[in-house]
């Protein structure tokens, strides 16, 4: 589910379909994915420090990817040093430094492998290190889960106002619905809070399919490849590794 372009959960609710309901979380676990960009990491953590958590517990996990070629760099070393010195007043901080490089997809899939599919009291938010959050982000996320957590057709809640049109990749996509939240099949990865049941099922399925050599390159709409499928095929055609966990998640 994507947020409105402005405002909160008011207006005519385009995500409400009479299914499920919500459970409002009273704790948030923020998982920060990082590697070798100290300045963006500092900016993100500073923005998180200025957020209003409304008295709720907010724990932070910082996941530092392993070095490429087995040797670290000064920028990565600075990231590790800053993460370990980071002071956080809202809860606990844990830093995981990987020994091996798993890449962006590996960091996404590995940061919440112990997901409890029945825990709706804790909202998990995954942030890449080049993000910033609004001081009010937790108000939006808390309310969203409070209204929609029990929906069976919900894969997660995004802090990102979706702008990508799935048919051709145009960034001019806009939903005109009175600034209400809405459902959309392309995950908004810029601040994504996965649904625990959906994420547990996804991790199990993805591990099985990837182990069998499956490629998520068949996603279509009205008989034509959606833009993410085109991107995947283009990168494979160039001999590159498509770093797109979202394509797996949509499939």
- Give Cβ neighbours of residue 99 (< 8 Å, ≥ 6 apart): 66
β-bridge partners, 31: 61, 126
- Give Cβ neighbours of residue 172 (< 8 Å, ≥ 6 apart): 163, 165
15 in any annotated domain: no
* Domain extent at residue 246: 27-250
72 in any annotated domain: yes
146 in any annotated domain: yes
User: Taking the model in full, what pTM does it have?
Assistant: 0.89
21 in any annotated domain: no
Query: Could you tell me if 32 and 61 are in contact, meaning their C-beta atoms sit under 8 angstroms apart?
Result: yes
16 in any annotated domain: no
Q: What's the confidence (pLDDT) of residue 4?
A: 46
Q: What's the confidence (pLDDT) of residue 128?
A: 98
Q: Dihedral of CA 35/38/44/45: which sign?
A: positive
Burial class from Cβ neighbours inside 10 Å (0-12, 13-18, 19+) for residue 243 reads middle
12 in any annotated domain: no
222 in any annotated domain: yes
207 in any annotated domain: yes
Query: Could you tell me if 83 and 34 are in contact, meaning their C-beta atoms sit under 8 angstroms apart?
Result: yes
The tokens describing 182, both together, are 């809405």
Digit-by-digit pLDDT tens for the chain (251 residues) are: 666 433 334 334 555 554 668 899 999 999 999 999 999 999 999 999 999 999 999 999 999 999 999 999 999 999 999 999 999 999 999 999 999 999 999 999 999 999 999 999 999 999 999 999 999 999 999 999 999 999 989 999 999 887 777 777 777 777 888 878 888 888 888 999 999 999 999 999 999 999 999 988 888 877 888 888 998 899 989 998 888 898 989 88
Count of domains observed in the chain? 1
Q: What is the DSSP string of 6-57?
A: SSSS-SS-TT--SS------SEEEEEEEESS-HHHHHHHHHHHHTS--TT-E
The CATH number covering residue 111 comes to 3.90.550
Q: What's the confidence (pLDDT) of residue 224?
A: 87
Q: What's the confidence (pLDDT) of residue 1?
A: 67
Q: What's the confidence (pLDDT) of residue 11?
A: 37
Length, in residues, of the chain: 251
| Of 97, 71, 73, 98, residue with least CA distance to 83 | 97
- From CA 55, how far away is CA 206, in angstroms rounded? 36
Question: What's the angle, vertex CA 5, arms to CA 21 and CA 19, rounded to 5?
Answer: 15
Residue 62's alpha-carbon distances to 39, 67, 160, 199, 243, in angstroms, are 15, 16, 21, 19, 20
């Amino acid at each position: 589910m994507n947020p409105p372009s402005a405002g909160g959960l008011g207006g005519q609710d385009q995500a409400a379909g009479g299914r499920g309901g919500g459970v409002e979380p009273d704790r948030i676990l923020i998982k920060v994915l990082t590697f070798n960009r100290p300045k963006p990491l500092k900016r993100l953590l500073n923005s998180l420090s200025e957020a209003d958590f409304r008295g709720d517990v907010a724990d932070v996990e910082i996941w530092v990817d392993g070095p490429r070629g087995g040797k670290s760099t000064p920028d990565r070393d600075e990231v590790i040093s800053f993460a370990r010195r980071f002071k956080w007043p809202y809860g606990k901080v844990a830093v995981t430094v990987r020994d091996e490089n798993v890449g962006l997809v590996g960091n996404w899939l590995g940061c919440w492998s112990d997901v409890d599919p029945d825990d709706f009291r804790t909202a998990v938010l995954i942030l890449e290190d080049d993000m910033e959050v609004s001081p009010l982000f937790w108000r939006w996320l808390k309310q969203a889960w409070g209204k929609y957590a029990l929906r069976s057709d919900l894969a997660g809640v995004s802090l990102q106002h979706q702008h990508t049109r799935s048919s051709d990749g145009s960034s001019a996509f806009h939903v005109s619905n009175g600034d209400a939240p809405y459902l959309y099949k392309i995950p908004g990865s810029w601040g994504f809070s996965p649904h625990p049941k959906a994420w547990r099922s996804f991790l199990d399925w993805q591990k099985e399919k990837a182990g069998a050599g499956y490629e998520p390159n068949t996603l279509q709409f009205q008989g034509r490849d959606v833009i993410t499928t085109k991107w995947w095929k283009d990168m494979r055609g160039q001999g590159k590794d498509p770093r797109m966990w979202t394509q797996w998640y949509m499939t």
